[in-house]
Amino acid sequence: METKWDADRIENQKGKVVIVTGANCGIGYETALEMSRNGAEVILACRDVDRGMGAIQNIIEEIPKANLVMASLDLSDLNRIEKFSDQIHENYRKIDLLINNAGVMMDSLTMTKQGFEFHFGINHLGHFALTGHILDLLLVEGDSRVVNVASIAEKKAKIFWDDLNCERRKYSMWKNYSQSKLANLLFTFEFKRRFDSIGHSLKIVAAHPGLTATNLSRNVRKENQISDLLWRKMTQHQSIGALPTLYAAVGDVESGDYIGPDGIMEFRGYPTKVNSSRSARNVVSSRKLWEISEDLTGVEFNILA
């Protein structure tokens, strides 16, 4: 990108149907706001319906003609994900853009409905299952995209293959969160490879927001004992932090691209193509995680069979 890209450069999205998970706050809210500002129909897929409706009200106050739909989605329960998918199929013939944005960062060890560690279960497995369930709707149009929102936390992450759900090792919020963000990228790149093999035009792109002042980022500060002053200097407003996601969603990208901030250490700045860790590009690991994810969720991407 030769010039700085921002939300003012988003082209008309009228006629597009967009799903944003975790759209009630933070990066997800900003993404829903800008996509609706430019004419898309935006489905806010949120666990907390009241907060989701509050987000819709806030967007409408700024954009009175915004086309917004609230849909209940609990990524911690595979049955609820399937129910959400059924409702989407009942009401839509196509989805143009799926933004897998929702994420958690837990102070203590917590398990999902099916017994998965919360970070791995929600941040990765929940989005894996959701994508598989609505894949047919994403394939209706030729220019559809999936955007997986990762994190710079993946750069020092590892997959605990023998203990994905933290049943034996000592719990660490940071290690488990980082594992889930590495999983987001392994999923992205394996998804891209599999679609390349069948020659479909669906684009699968990843993005990360750098260090952005959201509800989730407060846990990063707490975990790493960062002072108020240093945190303010390191972080950026969520409207800027959302730009890599928005660029991945509508910008000039190729399938398999990874978009992040252009500043030092990718902490802040405007969107640009960035490099992932070697671990994220490990083909053996990505295939292994894909197979494990299919087994754990019971969701198979049938178009890839």
Contact 233, 220 (CB under 8 A): no
> All domains of the chain, ordered by start, with CATH?
7-209+237-298 (3.40.50.720)
Q: Kindly report the number of other CB atoms within 10 A of residue 238's CB atom.
A: 20
- Residues 6+ positions from 238 with CB-CB distance below 8 Å: 26, 27, 29, 30, 209, 212, 213, 214
**Distance from C-alpha of 1 to C-alpha of 243, rounded to nearest angstrom:** 13
pLDDT for res 99? 98
Look at residue 175 and give its three-state secondary structure: helix
pLDDT at 224 over 60: no
Split at pLDDT 50, 70, 90, the class of 208 is very high
Place of tokens 């990843």: 206
Compare 212 and 255 and report the one with higher pLDDT. Answer: 255
The tokens of 119 are what? 């970070």
Residues acting as catalytic residues: 177
**Which residue reads 């999205």 in tokens?**
13
Residue 173 CA to residue 226 CA, distance in Å, equals 16
Q: What angle do CA 238, 240, 243 make, to 5 degrees?
A: 110
Q: Which residue matches tokens 């691209």?
A: 257
pLDDT 10s digits, 235-247: 788 999 999 999 9
What pTM was estimated for this model as a whole? 0.94
Tens digit of pLDDT for each residue in 110-154?
999 999 999 999 999 999 999 999 999 999 988 999 999 999 999
